Each structure stands twice: as structure tokens, then as C-alpha cells.
Structure 1
């Protein structure tokens, strides 16, 4: 039986962007909730291993991955805006390659410079994403969908929801910049699924 979606145990909250940076995601599920259901026999998944780095050839995005936890208000942290080329992995989501949706966040810009995900909106189905892991393997993902959605209708179910296989979410901000709010109005979300792994 597939577990309840992570979004179902999250508080209802609006996705908020930190300045011109990546989004602070809605309130997150309890840590390690993704490990409650074992992988199914028909789904190719990898053992748990922390991600080390991210490589997206199409958009020239290359970064180490820092762990991101929760803020005091239970929203997901983002990398410091002072280092806009740094991407981060939400450490209470599955590790990339494990069953479920691993979540990686990055800035579109920050500190008056382009961010690691400045070109994320250019991604398209079929594009490749590689994440090197601490165990020496690399989780290879192929993009299945790219969405740009208003922050006030952030798709928590789609981002956090349970999946029968190993998937990945890449998230940043996008759309029009609201100068009065000092925020972009949308989120850009890339959805991908595991296709292979290697040493």
C-alpha cells in the first residue's frame, strides 16, 4: 500500500520566495516519513545515500549540494541568497535515487548575480539531470514535466506526494518580479524520474 502523500501531513501554507531567490516551500512533512513504505519490486530504486553534487548539462548548472532543513515556521530552508550558485537538497525528503520525490532547491538569482537555476525554465521533457551521491553512485534522472505556477497555488501534492518510483523535483522562482513585495510571483518546478545509476 502506498503511504499517504507527504503533502497530506503538511500544513496548508503558501509558497513564499526569499527575495529573488528560490522558494521557501510550504510546511514540510515530518522527517523520515518517506521511509515508511519499502520499495516495490517493479520499481528501480537506489539505497539511501546523501547527494554530493548536481549536474545539469543543458543549462550549465553545476553545484555541490548542501543539506536544507526547516525554518522555525516549519517551511523549508533555502541556500543563502549571498551564494546564489549554491544548490541545496531538502534533507527530510528521500535522497535522490530513493523511492519518492527528492527535492532540490536553488536560486534564480541573488546578490545581483545569476543563480544556479537561472535557466531552469529552459528545461524540457527528455533533458538529463545527474546527482552524484556519497556512496560513489550517480543517480541519473530524465525530465518528465516543467511547470511554472503562481506561488499562492503551490502544488504541494505534486511536489511532496508519494510516488511508486524514484523521482526528483528541482525548484526555483520565476515569472514577473513584484518590486513592491521584493519577490517573484511564480515557482518554476521541474519533475524528473530515475532512469539509471552508475559508479
Structure 2
């Protein structure tokens, strides 16, 4: 996506559930499982680096301009998540919080202090990226799990733009045991501990492992990584931080 072009969500996100009831969590989890199964044969993309190729007038540094494509093959259907949603195993496990909109992401170790914007699935079945013209902005999949709720919350950010480094430029500096916080609209601050920091080639992206539902409150921080491929105007890999609520 060229720098400065903002994504246009398909619809406004549903209002957060202020009750955080077990019934509403089950409904959302069933809905999410159905959603992932429905798009199992579609492409889920997260554009996490904006800007233009150096050949188009940039400063010579490689910049990504196209979507990051993670193909969900038939063998990567998220049907098991649906099974958990309708079984006793779907009940929340461990510490968790009710649903609330995230307001700010704080990762002191890598100098991140950024507000959130909502992300949605676009017409092509891809997760829209945060606007590329704001280098200090992260996005969360607003129709999915909020940070702190039982399940997997998705947070995405750019690694760079056509003009400068962006919010997740130093995300790879995190390590197991590091902690970060999400300030929420209910006045609480959800603290997460990093379980692992891993890089995956886009051709072998483990979609089920990254996006699948879980009875625990978990977060995935995602950005671009690897080399910049000038031919396809995209990075070759994704960096994913796996973390859980503490």
C-alpha cells in the first residue's frame, strides 16, 4: 500500500460488549470460528510496511508497498476452534478480562508508546493495515478478541514507511519474559508477557498457529521482517510476538 493511503473498513466495528458475559464470549467465539472457517480458502493479508519502492523516487532504502499475503490452505481450516467454542474446553483458562477497546500500546523496551486504530477485513478478504501516513500507530482486529479477553487478539503495526522507521521498527528486540501493556477503555491496563519472538517466511506462514482461537488471553504482535524483495515490492517474512496475559 502506498504511503499516505488509508484503508477503508467494510463496516463500522460492532460496539464492545460492556458486560463481558460468558454468553457473549461464547457467541463471539463461535462467530469468530465460523468466520475463520469461511475464509479458509481466501487470502488473509496484513500490510505492515508502507511506502514506495526506492526506484519510484524514494531515498534508496527498501520500502514495502504491497499487501503481506498469508494463504489459508484447505488443511489450515480453523474448524478445531469451532469445536472448542461448543465444548467445556472453550471456557476461559487462566487470568482474563472482559471485553474493552484498547487505547494505547506501551512497550518500554523497544520505545513503543502508540495509540490504537480499528482494523477490519476488506472486500478482498484481507485484514486492512493501519494508515501508512502515521508512523506511530498500531491497529487491532476490532471484530475479533480485544487484548485481555480469552482468545487471540491481533495487533499489527508498520515496520517502516517511505520516509522513516515506524512503530514496530524495533519489535525484534523483544525476548521471552519481556512485558508490555495495553491501556484499555475500561480504565484497566492489561499486562502481557512475551512467550516467543519468531520470524516466518511468508510462503510458509503458520496461519493456524498465529490466528487460531485459544481459551487463554493471548496477543500476537505482527510486523514485516526479512529482506525486501524489490521485484514484488514486499518483505519476505513476518515477525510475530506471541504473548499471554499476566
Question: What is the TM-score when the length of structure 1 is the normalising length?
Answer: 0.84
- TM-aligned CA deviation for residue 78 of structure 1: 0.7
**1 or 2, which has the higher strand percentage?**
1
Counterpart for residue 20 of structure 2? none
**Is the Cα–Cα contact under 8 Å of residues 100 and 166 in structure 1 kept in the other structure?**
yes
* Structure 1 position 49 matched with structure 2 position 100: yes
5 Å matches for 1:184-199?
184-195=235-246
Q: Does 1:104 align with 2:133?
A: no
Does the alignment pair 1:68 with 2:157? no
Q: Across the two proteins, how many residue pairs are aligned to each other?
A: 190
Match of 1:83 among 114, 134, 140: 134
Task: Give the conservation status (yes or no) of the 8 Å contact 2:44–2:125.
Answer: no
Query: Superposition RMSD on alpha carbons, in Å?
Result: 2.8
Following superposition, the deviation at residue 14 of structure 1 comes to 6.2
**Conserved 8 A contact 2:92-2:216:** no
**Runs of at least 5 residues in structure 1 that lack an aligned partner in the other structure:** none
2:7 corresponds in structure 1 to: none
Change (3 A) 1:21 1:147: farther
Structure 1 residue 164: Cα displacement: 2.0
1:11 and 2:62 correspond: no
CA distance in structure 1 between the aligned counterparts of 2:189 and 2:136, rounded to whole angstroms: 21
**Structure 1 pair 9–179 and aligned structure 2 pair: CA distance change class (3 A):** same
Mind listing any 5+ residue stretches in structure 2 that lack a counterpart? 1-25, 51-63, 73-77
**Paired position in structure 2 for 1:151:** 202
Q: Which has the larger radius of gyration?
A: 2
Is 1:135 equivalent to 2:186 in the alignment?
A: yes
Partner SS state of residue 95, structure 1: coil
Distance 2:97 2:71 in 1: 27
Alpha-carbon distance in 2 for matches of 1:5, 1:190? 25
Cα 1:7–1:144, aligned 2, differ >3 Å: closer, same or farther? Answer: farther
- What is the CA-CA distance between 1:10 and the residue it aligns to? 3.3
Report Cα offsets for 1:156-175 as digits up to 9, x if no partner. 11111121210000000011
Cα pair 2:46 2:129 within 8 Å, conserved: no
> 1:41/1:179 Cα in 2 relative to 1: closer, same or farther (>3 Å)?
closer
Could you say which structure has the higher helix fraction?
A: 2
Separation in 1, partners of 2:203, 2:115: 30
Distance (Å, rounded) in 2 between the aligned partners of 1:122 and 1:5: 35
Secondary structure of residue in 1 paired with 2:187 = coil
How many angstroms does 1:81 deviate by? Answer: 1.3
**1:171–1:189 CA contact under 8 A, matched in 2:** yes
